[in-house]
Amino acid sequence: MDYRFSLQGAALVALPSGALWAPEAALLVVSDLHFGKSERLARRGGVLLPPYETRATLARLDADLEATGARRVICLGDSFDDLASEAEMDEADRLWLLRLMAGREWTWVEGNHDPGPLMLPGAHRAEVALGGLVFRHICTGAVAEVSGHYHPKARLPGRVAPCFLIDTDRVILPAFGTYTGGLWSDAPELRALMAPDALAVLTGKTCLARPMKG
């Protein structure tokens, strides 16, 4: 169901949920949770969406933490949809998130939508270096880099899905949040960052690898 690969010597697993699992470090990595997007849209007079995306995202995160037994978590930025979304988070959802954080080494990486939650525990970093890899929000094209931000997605006949982008030097994660759009995997911005032989690993019930530019 998952897709296993190596990045600069580190064994990694792309999970069907869109999370990245590093078993040797007991580390789960997720990007672009965008908690509170429906609330932010309503607050700014945008499209009204059912306000359940935070709960759905938390449920998938809970399931991945339970399945992997992760002791560390890195959230790769844009964890909340904007600065006000953390304060507006439903109390039951906040308690759920705190329960997931309890007993784990939890790091919030700064994103372009938010600097990381200010009222929740955990470490706050611009980026994280761990096990020979660098974890940051936006890809710079560096070697051994794990990032997010672009919400990559890919299409197959009858199917569109968020996807990982993977080459020998870097990986870009899909958005883990429920209400997130995406940038096509063959968009010029992504072609400029990834090697010509990069893979798009589609998420869903199972992971499916195909050429990024196919």
List the chain pLDDT tens, one digit each, 214 residues.
Answer: 999 999 999 999 999 999 999 999 999 999 999 887 545 544 455 554 555 678 889 999 999 999 999 999 999 998 886 676 677 788 899 999 999 999 999 999 999 867 677 788 999 999 999 999 999 999 999 999 999 999 999 988 888 899 999 999 999 999 999 766 789 999 999 999 999 999 999 999 999 999 998 6
Q: In sequence order, which ranges of the chain are alpha helices (DSSP H)?
A: 37-43, 53-68, 91-101, 188-191
Q: Can you tell me the distance from the alpha carbon of 121 to that of 24, in angstroms, rounded to the nearest whole number?
A: 25
What pTM does this model have? 0.91
The CATH number of residue 57's host domain is 3.60.21
Q: What is the pLDDT of residue 110?
A: 92
Residues 97-105: contacts with CB under 8 Å, at least 24 apart: 97/58, 100/58, 100/61, 100/62, 100/65, 100/73, 101/73, 104/65, 104/70, 104/71, 104/72, 104/73, 105/71, 105/72, 105/73
**Domain hosting residue 82, numbered range:** 3-211
Number of domains in the chain: 1
Q: What is the pLDDT of residue 13?
A: 98
